[in-house]
């Protein structure tokens, strides 16, 4: 029997690395005042079709439960967070600052950096559309990278600039054009513009996409509010020392994004090098709530782990209690006490003392606490440093202090 395609098995060494990275990310966002929330692994299917249309059904894991209710494994976490907000938190003073870490599911062809089960780490700031709120979310994403010592290229844009070029088109046509841009499908975009009778837009769209500063963009779309808002955000990022590149080609593909958008790209990941994406959006009203602005991002956690490669984890104290047969009961008591302070193992295979010490090296124990006839008589234990081989008979309280 094999695991399902597009999923992972994580061995202890890989889990240790993932937890180390996760804890750095958690601590960083908590330092910025974000609080953790958790939503169900599956939601009502309508939560996702309301946001993305019925076509998303082909891309997700959807099913009916025994009561005939249409459900889906969550493909992302922004919609569930806003559903939670509408259901329980609308009257709470703003802004609300949340973070989450969880597994998501999409039915797509597995490839490097793209899986059917994957993990997202993200934040949502609900209740403000001020430049300070947008700048905080971007700066926080940058701070997560700094904390991980991971290099990434930050690209920032604003959907309002692109949408201002399409002011005479229907929402359906605008959204279709944004999807072509998001997918970098130049030929598809060209054909679609001809199909809807707007081929003249192609030159302006590509001129904007290729522009790299606000003044150049103003020369193409005029002095639209979106550019003023983006300019304020970028000014704040510069004051905070956050490096960025202006990029009007970012479309994000999801129709609920309304304003600022950004993406972060990491080295060493090939074509699937985007590790973070986010922006400002309005989604709560789709779920029956008030029309309220929000800004957020999500890191593709698996890609972050891949981008970091081999990292050195902080050394951990790992103890093994070694005993002779006659000291077995006392050794169990010693291990029970040590487990209040350290990761502690004890032989469960009936090995002799020599074999137990050999196994200590196999599991990477940093210290061995030996209990034998001599130790029983002295009412002490022997502490051996597995790195140096030095050992000393001590009281158990002294052992605990020495290992610390």
* Alpha helix segments (H runs only) across 295-372: 301-308, 328-338, 353-362
Burial class (CB in 10 A: 0-12, 13-18, 19+), 44: middle
CATH number of domain containing 365: 3.40.50.800
**Contact predicate 156/246, CB 8 Å:** yes
Say what the pLDDT of residue 253 is: 56
Q: Tell me the two tokens of residue 145.
A: 């990278």
- Supply the pTM of this predicted model: 0.91
Q: What share of the chain is helix, strand, coil (3-state, %, to 5)?
A: 45, 25, 35
pLDDT, tens only, 289-332:
999 999 999 999 999 999 999 998 998 999 999 999 999 999 99
Spatial CB neighbours of 245, under 8 Å, sequence gap ≥ 6: 153, 154, 155, 156, 212
Q: Which residues pair with 344 in a beta bridge?
A: 319
> In terms of domains, do 173 and 132 share one?
yes
CATH number at residue 135: 3.30.930.10
User: In whole angstroms, what is the distance from residue 143 CA to residue 135 CA?
Assistant: 12
Query: Are 288 and 337 members of one domain?
Result: no
**pLDDT value for 176:** 85
Q: Which of 278, 308, 338 is the last residue of a domain?
A: 308
Residue 284 pLDDT greater than 80, yes or no: yes
At which of 308, 340, 356 does a domain end?
308
Phi, psi of 342 (to 5 degrees): -140, 160
* Higher-pLDDT residue of 171, 253: 171
Residue 397: exposure state from Cβ atoms within 10 A (0-12, 13-18, ≥19): exposed
Using the 3D structure, point to which of 271, 286, 308 is the last residue of a domain.
308
Residues 371, 231: one domain?
Answer: no
pLDDT range class, residue 7, cuts 50, 70, 90: very high
Let me know whether 264 and 370 are in one domain.
Answer: no
Q: What are phi and psi of 199, to 5 degrees?
A: -65, -25
Are residues 261 and 160 part of one domain?
yes
Residues 337, 237, single domain; the answer is no
Q: Which residue has the higher pLDDT, 336 or 175?
A: 336
User: H-helix or E-strand containing 187?
Assistant: helix 186-195
Beta-carbon count within 10 A of 95 CB: 18
45 found inside a domain: yes
Q: Looking at the 3D structure of the chain, how many domains does it have?
A: 2
- Give the distance, in angstroms, between the CA of residue 12 and the centroid of all CA atoms in the same chain: 20
- 8-state DSSP, 67: T
Q: How far is CA 404 from CA 226, 229, 322, in A?
A: 56, 53, 19
Burial of 171 (0-12, 13-18, 19+ CB in 10 A): exposed
| Shared domain check, 136 and 39 | yes
Residues 270, 356, single domain; the answer is no
Separation between Cα atoms, residue 162 and residue 166, nearest integer Å: 7
266 and 399: one domain?
no
Q: What is the pLDDT of residues 58-67, one digit of tens each?
A: 899 999 999 9
Cα–Cα distance for residue pair 192/175, rounded to 1 Å: 12
- Paired with 102 in beta bridges are 120
Task: Answer yes or no: do 188 and 58 share one domain.
Answer: yes
Best-predicted range by mean pLDDT (49-63, 130-144, 280-294): 130-144
Predicted local distance difference test score (pLDDT) of residue 97: 98
In a domain, 26, yes or no: yes
382 and 370 Cβ atoms separated by less than 8 Å: yes
Residue 301 lies in a domain: yes
The answer to whether residue 252 scores a pLDDT higher than 70 is no
Helix 301-308, helix 12-31: angle, nearest 10: 110
Instruction: List the strands of the sheet with 343-346, edge to edge.
Output: 343-346, 318-323, 367-371, 381-385, 391-394
Backbone phi and psi for residue 361, each to the nearest 5 degrees, phi listed first: -70, -35
Residue 373 lies in a domain: yes
Q: Where are the alpha helices (DSSP H) in 309-395?
A: 328-338, 353-362, 373-378
Q: What integer pLDDT is reported at residue 335 of this predicted model?
A: 97
The verdict on 334 and 290 lying in the same domain is: no
DSSP 3-state of 180: helix
- Give the alpha-carbon dihedral of 214, 217, 223, 229, to 10 degrees: -40
Residue, of 177 and 72, whose pLDDT is higher: 72
Question: Residue 204: inside a domain, yes or no?
Answer: yes
**Within-domain flag for 1:** no
Domain range for 119 is 12-308
274, 231: one domain:
yes
For residue 248, tell me if it sits in a domain.
yes
For tokens 């137990």, the residue is: 356
Q: What does pLDDT average to over the chain?
A: 93
Q: Taking 80 as the threshold, does the pLDDT of residue 255 lie above it?
A: no
Q: Residue 162 domain-assigned?
A: yes
Residue range 367-391: mean pLDDT, rounded: 96
């Amino acid at each position: 029997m094999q695991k399902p395609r597009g999923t992972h098995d994580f061995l202890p060494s890989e889990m240790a690395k993932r937890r180390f990275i996760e804890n750095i990310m958690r601590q960083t966002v908590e330092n910025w005042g974000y609080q953790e929330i958790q939503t169900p692994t599956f939601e009502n299917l309508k939560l996702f079709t309301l946001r993305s249309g019925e076509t998303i059904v082909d891309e997700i894991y959807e099913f009916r439960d025994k009561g005939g209710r249409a459900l889906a494994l969550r493909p992302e976490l922004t919609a569930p967070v806003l559903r939670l907000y509408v259901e329980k938190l609308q009257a709470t003073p703003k802004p609300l600052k949340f973070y989450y870490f969880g597994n998501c599911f999409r039915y797509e062809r597995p490839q490097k950096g793209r899986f059917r089960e994957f993990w997202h780490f993200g934040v949502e700031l609900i209740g403000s559309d001020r430049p300070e709120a947008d700048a905080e979310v971007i700066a926080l994403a940058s701070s997560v990278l700094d904390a991980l010592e991971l290099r990434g290229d930050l690209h920032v844009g604003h959907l309002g600039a692109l949408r201002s070029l399409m002011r005479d088109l229907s929402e359906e046509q605008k959204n279709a054009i944004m999807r072509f841009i998001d997918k970098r499908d130049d030929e598809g975009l060209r054909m679609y513009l001809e199909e809807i009778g707007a081929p003249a837009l192609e030159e302006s769209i590509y001129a904007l996409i290729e522009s790299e500063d606000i003044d150049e963009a103003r020369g193409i779309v005029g002095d639209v509010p979106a550019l003023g808002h983006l300019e304020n955000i970028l000014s704040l990022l510069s004051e905070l020392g956050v490096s960025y590149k202006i990029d009007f080609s970012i479309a994000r593909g999801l129709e609920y994004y309304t304003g600022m958008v950004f993406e972060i790209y990491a080295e060493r990941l090939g074509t699937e090098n985007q590790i973070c994406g986010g922006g400002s959006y309005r989604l709560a009203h789709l779920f029956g709530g008030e029309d309220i602005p929000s800004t957020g991002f999500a890191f593709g956690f698996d890609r972050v782990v891949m981008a970091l490669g081999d990292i050195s984890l902080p050394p951990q104290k790992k103890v093994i209690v070694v005993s002779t047969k006659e000291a077995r009961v006392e050794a169990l008591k010693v291990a029970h006490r040590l487990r209040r302070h350290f990761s502690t193992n004890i032989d469960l295979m009936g090995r002799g003392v020599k074999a137990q010490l050999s196994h200590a090296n196999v599991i990477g124990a940093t210290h061995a606490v030996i209990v034998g006839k001599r130790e029983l008589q002295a009412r002490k234990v022997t502490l051996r440093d597995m790195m140096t081989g030095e050992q000393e008979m001590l009281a158990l309280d002294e052992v605990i202090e020495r290992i610390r």
